[in-house]
């Protein structure tokens, strides 16, 4: 089977991690070997950088520093995990990828999209997902869901103000509108099983 690279994107609390696991299980049931990974993270080096990015005060890093750290983590993730798995015929499902940097540090953080794409072209040789699903959920609903995550403290990004998250949501909507060949918008406000079914429907052209 031909390997594929899929990414799940969206704001806080949209259910990306849950749906990545559910989609992987559904694909495995159809005979598709899958690998679930995440960003930042997914390789030993990238997980080390994740700790720097996700922990600490909201103002610990500037958007420019964050973009550099994300690009470094992603370069290792792509080289050590994603490319080898896809080359071996697996379907890689990544919980966030480049488009989160474009949304969070780009649109919401004020960095030009071309600069982020240039970093990605150098660090990860421009690799893009074959298909990107944006799990769309109103920011207020996502914030409530994020607050209920097993009592865990919010990370540096989830803890930001409502206006920041509104900008992130607007960014993802804009990407999907401008790049319809890669992006699919998914309503994340329905029952989890219905979200998984919508994701599978978005892959129907590739499934046996």
> Which CATH number do you get for residue 165?
3.40.50.300
Question: Whole-angstrom Cα distance, residue 140 to residue 13?
Answer: 10
Confidence (pLDDT) at 87: 98
pLDDT at 58: 87
Q: Which domain holds residue 76?
A: 4-201
192 and 25 Cβ atoms separated by less than 8 Å: no
> What pLDDT score does 162 carry?
87
175 φ/ψ angles, rounded to the nearest 5 degrees: -60, -45
Region of 157 on the Ramachandran plot (φ > 0 left; ψ -120 to 50 alpha; else beta): alpha
**pLDDT for residue 148 is more than 60:** no
Q: How sure is the predictor about 156, in pLDDT bands with cuts at 50, 70 and 90?
A: confident
What is the per-residue pLDDT for 152? 53
- pLDDT of the residue at 161: 86
57 is a domain residue: yes
Q: Quote the number of domains for the chain.
A: 1
Reported confidence tier of residue 208, pLDDT bands at 50, 70, 90: confident
Identify whether 170 is part of a domain. yes
- Per-residue pLDDT, 138: 78
CA distance 35 to 139: 29
- Per-residue pLDDT at 118 exceeds 90: yes
Q: What is the mean pLDDT of the chain?
A: 93
Mean pLDDT of 7-13: 94
Q: In Å, how far are 21, 68, 81, 127, 150 from 15, measured between CA atoms?
A: 10, 26, 23, 24, 14
pLDDT at residue 157, rounded to an integer: 86
Asked whether residue 157 is assigned to any structural domain, the reply reads yes
What's the predicted TM-score (pTM) here?
0.92
In this prediction, residues 191-198 reach a mean pLDDT of: 98
Please indicate, yes or no, if residue 90 is contained in any of the structural domains: yes
Mean of the pLDDT values across residues 110-129? 98
In a domain, 207, yes or no: no
pLDDT of residue 150: 54
Most confident of 51-60, 61-70, 160-169: 61-70
């Amino acid at each position: 089977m031909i390997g594929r690279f899929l990414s799940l994107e969206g704001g806080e609390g949209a259910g990306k991690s849950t749906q990545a696991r559910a989609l992987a299980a559904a694909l495995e049931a159809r005979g598709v070997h899958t690998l679930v990974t995440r960003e930042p993270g997914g390789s030993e080096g990238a997980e080390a950088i994740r700790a720097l990015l996700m922990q600490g005060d909201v103002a610990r890093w500037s958007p420019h520093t964050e973009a550099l750290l994300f690009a470094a983590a992603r370069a290792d993730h792509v080289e050590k995990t994603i490319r080898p798995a896809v080359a071996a015929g697996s379907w890689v499902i990544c919980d966030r990828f480049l488009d989160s940097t474009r949304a969070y540090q780009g649109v919401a953080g004020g960095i030009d999209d071309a600069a982020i794409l240039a970093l990605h072209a150098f660090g990860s040789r421009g690799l893009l997902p074959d298909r990107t699903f944006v799990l769309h959920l109103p920011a207020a609903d996502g914030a409530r869901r994020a607050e209920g995550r097993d009592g865990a403290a919010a990370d540096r990004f989830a803890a930001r103000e409502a206006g920041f998250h509104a900008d992130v949501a607007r960014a993802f909507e804009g990407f999907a509108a401008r790049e319809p060949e890669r992006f699919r918008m998914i309503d994340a406000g329905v029952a989890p099983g219905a979200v998984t079914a919508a994701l599978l429907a978005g892959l129907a052209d590739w499934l046996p």
